[in-house]
Structures are given as C-alpha cells and as structure tokens.
Structure 1
C-alpha cells in the first residue's frame, strides 16, 4: 500500500496499522476472498467431474485447473469485479470468470459443470472456512504462541521475586511476580490448545441444504459421502445438515475461544499497567521517543494500553458475530453475508493486540527495591501466617488475637506482630517459625508454582 493510500484509508487497520496487519490481508481482503472462492469452485469442479465420471482430467489438466487459483492475480480479481459490476452478484461473477478460464484451457465443453448443484453460500462456506483455518494456523496461533512465550519467560525469570498481593485493592498477603504471571499463562494454555484443535464446517448441499439438484441428476451417487470426503481433503468438516447457510457453530466456537483468550491477555495488560503505575515495573527508554507533548519526563505504558484497546475492539466484533450468525430468517437471509466480511477486521484488531502485548513485555523489568519497599510497608500481610501457626498450636482464638493487633492499625510494626504471636505460642517450633516469618518469606509455593 502506498503512503498516499495509507493516509486516505478509512480504517486504521489499512492505514496507520497496515504494516502490522498485512499478513491477515492474505486471508480476508477482497482479493483474498475472491481467490478463495475461485479455489472452492475449481476444487469442487474437479471433484464433481471425477465423481460423476463426466471427466477424468489428466495430471497436467488438473495442474492447469488449479493454477487458476494458485496463480490468481490482482488483475484476475479485477476481471471478477468487472463481471460483478454487470451482474451484481459476487459469486456468480466468479463463475463467469471461470467460464473464460476453462475456455482458455480448451475445456469449454465442461463449462456447464461449473458451480453444478451449488448455491453461493456453498462457495462462501468453503472460502471462509479456508480463510479462517489458514489465518488461524499461519497468523493467529503463531502470534499467540509469542504472547505465551513472553509470559513464560517473565514468569520464570521472576519466579521468586516477592510482591504485595492485593485483593479488593487492599494489601492481602505476599505472592511472587512469577506466580502471578504464571496464572495468566495457565489460563491461556488450554484455550490456545482448544483454538488450535477446532474444525471449520462447510457445505456443498445446494440451495436449502437438501442436495436436490445433485440427487435429481445423479441419484446413484452418495452425495453425503462425497461432501464429507471432498471437504475433509480441503481440511474442512462437512456440515451434517443445514439450511442454505452453513451452520455457524464452528465459527462461533472459534470466536468465543478467541474472545476468551483476548480477555485473558487484556486482564494481564491491566495488571501490568497497574504495576508500572505503582513503580514496581520499569520500562526501557528509547531516547528518541516522546511520552508527552508537554511533559518531558513521561514514559507511558502505551503498548499495554494499545493492546487493551485493540482487544476490546476485537471482542466487540467477535461478540456480535456470535450473536448474529446463529440467527437467519427461515432458510436464509443475507444479513450474515455483510457481517462475515468483517471477520478479518476482528482478527486484525486482535493481531494488533498481540503485537503490542509482546512489544510491551520486551520493554519491562522488575524494580525490586520498589517491590520490596511496598511489601515491607505492610507487615500485617503476615497475620494470616501468624494466626495459622497459633491455631496449629491449639490457640482457639488466634484469629481474633491477630485481628485485634492489626486490623485498621496504621503504624503496626513487624516486630510488634511477632511479639503478639510469640506471647500466645505454646511450642518451641512454633516460636521459631514466628521469629523467622516476614513478608518477603511468606510466599508459600509461589516460586515453585511459577
């Protein structure tokens, strides 16, 4: 895209962020959709002619047929758009283009078998299925694996760094930085595995999903078996039963899983933003960068803020897809068609989020003096440990004793709390544990869990 077209783009995905979303345009641009439709029509044409024995194409002929989509160019797409401008039907325009292509391959006798028994939704279901599968495998999953990798690296590096945990925004008990980020990784991993394993459904069952045209002309053929085999070879799953539109649940499972993943990463962004704001993390400074047009000192957490915003935009669209696509009047209305054209937009915003997320983690490090200072400022964070030790020692009112000593007290010291506990401890072993207990040591299995 030229600098001029970037500046004139309506969507920031095609303008400001074009370089970051370029990979997805190979799957969801208008050109890509047309190319996938051409692929769907050609693959179906070959399989249909072979199954019905209308033609047994040679290896050379098959290669030439497939070259129509493997070598599909922008000029070819413009020819399709020219046909669409005349007939006002995007899939029929593909068929008209393919008629010319068959004639150029000396296969004009087979033109009647193009798009045989299909409806445009059959072609589209294959096209979108291939686009979703390809973009997931080549763009989305690799980006998510990078996000998982930076989480794993941060968790491992900071596994034993103690920090103050806060619940309800208040000081709770100590934890470690590594453990807290390992939580995000633990939440992310099964979702990423589910995302990778999902199949996308497509159909070739005709106008209202009955195979009526197929069965009328070739009743001897097992069309259900044909559909299953044909779509499986494309890496898709045959829709067992549908109306004119392919059943949307396979798309919805993907969108919902992706939305959950985005929410996990968004949650991580907000926590990281807070840690940076508290000074517990610092960001690497690029000398040429500007943080504010008026405040020279500013180093803003813009990567995590950008990621949060883009995950929100992605999820807004993904949520709409999940609400809209299951609803179609009777056997089909066209409202799903315009919605599906924005699938790439949702994935584009998600991809921007993943890029910003990784870039943000590449800049941050833990400010350990600050985290230790924050932790030691709240000695009451060990009162859980103290009252638990006393209860193990048989002190029935241990909780109340420590509550009275610490709750609402602004200036209580670590030593004062230890002395309260030591006064009530009954065994030497318990007294030794009380004497050693501190906010920096009371982290349980956090380091091991990381």
Structure 2
C-alpha cells in the first residue's frame, strides 16, 4: 500500500498530498501527452517525421547535402567546388556523409543531446554531431580522405533558420504524404464504397430537425466524399517553400567569403533540386511560413468536414437510422449493460476540435515575425506533431466507427411511411406547372397544400384523396398517385456518380 501524507498549508491554501511513490521517477518515463501515452498506437507513425529526433535527422540531411553541393558544385557552375581549398568529394565520401543522418539511432540521439546540453542550441548541436562523424572518418575511410578536415565546411555561411526551414518543410511534407493523407483517404474510400452500396436506399431527410424531402443514404454520404475530395486536392497541390540565404536574407556572409559565386542561383538549385521544395527567394532571416498557414488551414478545413460527418453519423445512430455492431467483450456503460455507445464518433469530434484549435493557432502565429527574426515560431512549430496527431487519432476513430455501422432499414422505412406530408412539395410544384398550362382549380397551390398538410399527420389516403380532387391531366395524376415517400428521391441515386468527378 502506497503511503501518503497530507500537508496542511496556511488558511485558504489548498492541501498538498505527497505520495511515497513519485510517478516522475518511474522508468521508462510516463508520457504527459495522451498522444504519446494512451493513444501512442494510433499516432506513433508521426514520430518518424514530426518528433524532435526526426527534425534533427532532417537537419543533418540538409547539412550534409549542403556540404556535398559546396564541394562538388552543380551543373550551372560546371560541377566545380564552390569554395576554394575543397576538392570534389568521392562517391565513398558522399556515401559516408549521407550515412550520418541515416544512422541517427538511439546512440546518436544521445550524443546530440549531450552536445545540446552544453550549447543550449539545437542546430549547433547538429553541427557538432556532424563534426564528431567527420572525426570518425579518419579510421572509417581510406587514408588521405579530406573529410576529417572539412569541419569548417559544415554549416558554411548558414544561419540556423536556413537549416530549420528546409528541415521543417521536408518533415511536414513527409508526414502529410505518408501518414495524414493515407488516413483521410481511407475514410473517403470507405464513404465512397458505402455511397455506391446505398445509392438507392431511401431515407427521410430532416431540415431544421423536421421531416423534409426524402433523399438516399448513398447520396448523403456522397456529399461528404465530394466535399473531402475538393479539399484534398488543395492539400495535394500545396507548395512547401524553402530558403537558404543567410542571417537576414541577403547572402551577406556568402558574398563576403566567396564573392565570385552566384549564390542566388546556388540557393535556388539547392532548395529545388536537392531539397525538392519550392524556392522562396525573398525572405527575412526566416522563411515566412505562409505555406504552413495555407496547409494548416486546409487540414483544419478537412478536420471540420470530418467533424460534421462525425456529428451527423452520431445523430443518425441516435435516431436509429444506423445500427452499430456489438463488439464481443466491449462495455458500453458501467451500469447499463444494454448500451452500445457511439464513442468512436464522440472521440473523433473531440480530437478534431483539439487539432483545429492547434492548427488555427499555428496558422495565426507562424505568419508573424518581429522585424527580421524572433523565436516564437521555434517553439510553436514543435507542436505541429501534436496538431497532426489529434487529427490522425480522430480519423482512426472515425474510420473504425464507419466500418462498424450499417443502415437500419426497418427504421428508415418506418420513418418514411410515417411522413406522407413530405409529398406536399411535389404536389404543389405539379400544381404550379398545371396552372401555367391552363388547368383550372390550381390557384395558390402552395397555400392549398399548406392548409391541408402543415402541422398535421397525413396518411396515404389523405394524399390520394387530395390528388383526386384536383384537375390534373390523367398522366400527371397517375404519376403523383404512384409517388410515395420512399420513391420520392429525385435523381439522388444518379448524383452518387458525381462524387469522384
């Protein structure tokens, strides 16, 4: 049994409870964030791209690729070294450099952390970690390799933001393309499959929560497919910008050290061809982060569409339109054994709201910087993984929830049959057409139907009697008589085919 001691403070001061077992002393460390604790199974793929070690690994990639370009040049300068005294790197030397980030394992992470504990600067710690690797090249590479003496080439003419903005852009792009997009695409595909499966399954609509013109389940799901597809095209077309131009975006250090090189062109080549990003030629010390605001706004928009979906499905379940599959061994309520709660959709709601809140904050914060530089963006960007993590967690719940529901056709049929008044719309519209064609007794069609149906329970017999009382031509009268709430779905089933166009 764990001992505890209650310490009484001064009057109006809350008591403190001191436990003999301190949770902070347990190893391995207990996660503070649920994303790294309770929900790690769902969110861990993002660790590969948006964790602190992932960022440091990408920083190393940027640094070594910059070294290779400086030493070996590029097509535009005849593939000659850009810095005097440096010889073109051999294939073995280039491979050694590129193996540094690829080998960023647990031991390398610890070595980087040791450097940062001294420097209190994460990018400088990356630079020193690469220096360590270059020193190790003395014994790892053939005698005479120039790598051990090239420590001064590491981070040459760079400011930290040159490395950070490129690394962040690559990390975010990889996370979006490898984790986030596949997750949301799985939901879209599931919705699309269900939309086609239930394209003709009639259901009662509710507008303002009241019975309205019937639709089909497939068409309503196709609406979400169409909405999501449109936003995903924006995400897939997103530019990921990068810059490499020095401390205040002027290439000042570059020109002071090696004035004969066209550093503007070098920057363009490095960002576009080596980093695979869109070059931003005009910045302060920081890349302006406008692309991040655009991307996070688009992802937040997708989140909100998914939130709308989660709420709609929750209400369909509450209404009985969707039935949930019982999971063997699962508990819906601690006291009511019969319950199957729609917790997947509730969890999705909550986590989408958290993700949107963080993404909106990122979008608002990152586009501002005091004059040429402040560090608010540094700590802000460390939360990109959390913002994306809550979205991924929500989608995991939503996807599982969608796969566990099916339409309750008995309920859907009963709702339709209980609401014959929804045929007031087609009848009064047909009356309008008849009046325009010169038929008598069709005046004020909306008001006539309103007088009959508004606020009243209407039966099939009431509808047929009203139709028979009007001077419709035989074809129109017969068409209206055949109409039922279940058959009054217009072109809904055909509209499903537009969901992926």
TM-score normalised per structure 1: 0.97
Q: 1:15 aligns with which of 37, 50, 70?
A: 37
Deviations 1:143-171 (A, max 9, x none): 11101111101111111111111111111
Query: 1:126, CA displacement in angstroms?
Result: 1.2
Which residue in 1 is equivalent to 2:451? 404
1:166 lines up with 2:206 in the alignment: yes
Corresponding residue number in structure 2 for 1:251: 292
Equivalent position of 2:5 in the other structure? none
Q: What is residue 427 of structure 1 aligned with on the other side?
A: 473
Match of 2:326 among 285, 290, 303: 285
- Alignment RMSD (CA, Å): 1.3
Deviations 1:125-148, CA, capped at 9 Å, x for gaps: 111111011111111111111011
- Higher mean alpha-carbon deviation, 359-368 vs 394-403, is at 394-403
The partner residue of 1:261 within 302, 305, 308 is 302
Within the candidate set 19, 24, 30, 2:52 is matched to: 30
Q: 1 CA distance for matches of 2:317 and 2:285?
A: 52
What is the match of residue 141 of structure 2?
none
Secondary structure of 1:282 counterpart: strand
1:90 and 2:122 are equivalent in the alignment: yes
Change (3 A) 1:159 1:391: same
The separation in 1 between residues aligned to 2:465 and 2:430, in whole angstroms, is: 13
- How far apart, in 1, do the equivalents of 2:29 and 2:52 lie? 20
- Cα distance in 2 for partners of 1:276, 1:316 equals 27
What's the CA shift string for 1:345-381, capped at 9, x where partnerless?
A: 0111110111111100110000001011112211111
Q: 1:7 to 1:110 in 2, by over 3 A?
A: closer
1:341 aligns with 2:382: yes
**Alignment partner of 1:213 is 2:213:** no
Query: Which residue of the other structure, out of 67, 81, 91, is the alignment partner of 2:99?
Result: 67
Structure 2 gaps, min length 5: 1-25, 74-81, 139-146, 436-441, 497-501
Q: Distance in 1 between matches of 2:27 and 2:232?
A: 35
The one of the two structures with greater contact order (alpha-carbon pairs below 8 A, sep at least 6) is 1
Does structure 1 retain, via aligned residues, the 8 Å contact 2:467–2:481?
no
Give 1:412 shift: 2.1
Q: How does 1:47-446 map to 2 (within 5 A)?
A: 47-51=69-73, 52-53=82-83, 54-106=86-138, 107-233=147-273, 234-394=275-435, 395-409=442-456, 411-446=457-492
Runs of 4+ in 1 over 3 A off after TM superposition: 4-7
Moved more, 124-133 or 226-235: 226-235
TM, length-normalised to structure 2: 0.87
In the alignment, is the contact (CA less than 8 A) between 2:200 and 2:218 conserved in 1? yes
Shift of 1:329: 0.8
Residues 387 and 402 of structure 1 are in contact (CA less than 8 Å); yes or no, is this contact kept in structure 2?
yes
Deviation at 1:219, TM superposition (A): 2.2
Does the C-alpha gap of structure 1 residues 230 and 399 become closer, same or farther in structure 2, counting only changes over 3 Å?
same
Greater helix content: 1
Residues 5 and 281 of structure 1: CA distance in aligned 2, closer, same or farther (over 3 Å)? farther
Could you tell me which runs of 5 or more consecutive residues in structure 1 were left unpaired when the two chains were aligned: none
After superposing the two structures, state which structure 1 stretch, 28-37 or 275-284, moved more: 28-37
